[in-house]
Amino acid sequence: MSLDLAVIGGTGLYQFPGLEVTERVRPETPYGAPSGDIVIGTLAGKRVGFLARHGESHTIPPHRVNYRANVHALHALGARRVIGVNAVGGIRADMGPKVVVIPDQIIDYTHGRFTSFCDVDGAKVEHIDFSEPYTAPLRQLLLAAATRAGVAVVDGGCYGATQGPRLETRAEITRMQRDGSDLVGMTGMPEAALARELGMAYACMALVANWAAGCGDQAEISLDEIFANLAECTSQVPRIIQALLAAE
């Protein structure tokens, strides 16, 4: 039985509140094991799969996530739509802490990651069109769902994906600003591209945990503040997803 939707949770989202769990699976893939169990259950009468990107105890840093195994496992379970939930830093003035953003573009600054299912001997080489990295119809469904759920979100913006796990320098953020990045995070790529290679609809829900280095009025980034802001943002995620599914 296929999944109506898959959700990949980022930092701060390790379980999915409201999901009526029916099973937990951890399928092996040609690329190894996913980050943890894929928790399957029902939400708003729909069959949903949830995977904690960093593991349920946050033991996997962003540059060590097995993105290929995660995406492949969800696809093998029948997921054809994926919402990636990502903790990010805010660069643009209207994307400060506790803001939820549905970005529409991405710049990849990562390195050394397995970025494609083509990265194995004998695999078919796929040149995906990645002009629009997030699937427009799924983005629109998220935006409409947020409105119905009464959650304010920012429509659009460019996600700059960095290597991590360290946070960025002020100079790096200044460069990203010049490049057109509005947000900075560590897990946006290659997840989005891998989903595209498998023909899966993919959209991102970016939760702003803090101002990026040199942005806003903070002198120093506090991890305690990051997690407090994330807790507030994360509480909005199930409401938006439930509103999306309830309308279908």
Numbered residues of the known binding site for phosphate: 11, 53-54, 187
Known binding-site residue numbers for substrate: 186, 210-212
The Cα-based distances of 100 to 26, 143, 155, 188 in angstroms read 30, 11, 9, 15
* Angstrom distance (rounded) from CA 248 to CA 72: 25
Known binding-site residue numbers: 11, 53-54, 186-187, 210-212
CB atoms closer than 10 angstroms to residue 206: 29
Phi, psi (rounded to 5 degrees) for 210:
-165, 165
* Angstrom distance (rounded) from CA 130 to CA 76: 22
- C-alpha 148: how far from its chain's center? 21
Tokens of 73: 């496992």
* Angstrom distance (rounded) from CA 191 to CA 30: 16
